[in-house]
Amino acid sequence: MPRLALAKIPANVLQAELERRANRAARKIRKLLRVRANLDAQIAELEAIAGTKTAPKAKPGPKPGRKPGRKPGRKPGPKPGPKPAAKAPRKRGVFAQTGQEFVLALAKGKGATTGEINTKWVDAGRGGKADIVLSKMVKDGKLKREPLPKGQKGSTYTIA
């Protein structure tokens, strides 16, 4: 059956296709079981003639979906040894200027590039980068963004 968008195929056609595929799979399984029974009978006949018994059948592999390497059951507990020290909860920084005021002060006059603003942002002890504040200010119309010439990354921000 060619691949088509399922939404365009009527439900009764899909149901018929599923039944057809299930029947085909069931026929293949029945055929393979008959072949296996025939082979088992031939092996038993050969063993009777030779008077020997073949090696026992290998145990089946792991069930599908189960990862090899760990027996089923309870997961192993925590590893012995000293527990790692708990990290102190992160606190918000308190600064004399808001992030927007800080960026506006840098963008006064001829403006500042993204790299310059981010460097001074980190030097001031602020976490992360100033990118979020910059995009919000451009969106709000407080800053004007001009891309740097080709070959250079970033933009120049000036007061709008």
Helix axes 131-140, 114-123, angle to 10 degrees: 130
Please measure the distance between the N-terminal and C-terminal CA atoms of the chain and give it in whole angstroms.
61
Could you give the CA distance from residue 137 to residue 141 in angstroms, rounded to a whole number? 6
Phi, psi angles (nearest 5°) of residue 87: -80, 145
pLDDT in tens, 69-101: 666 666 667 777 777 777 777 777 888 889 999
Residue 28 has pLDDT above 90, yes or no: yes
pTM comes to 0.45
pLDDT in tens, 148-157: 888 888 899 9
pLDDT higher at 80 or 48: 48
Domain ranges of the chain: 8-50, 99-159
pLDDT of residue 113: 92
Rg (CA), the chain: 36
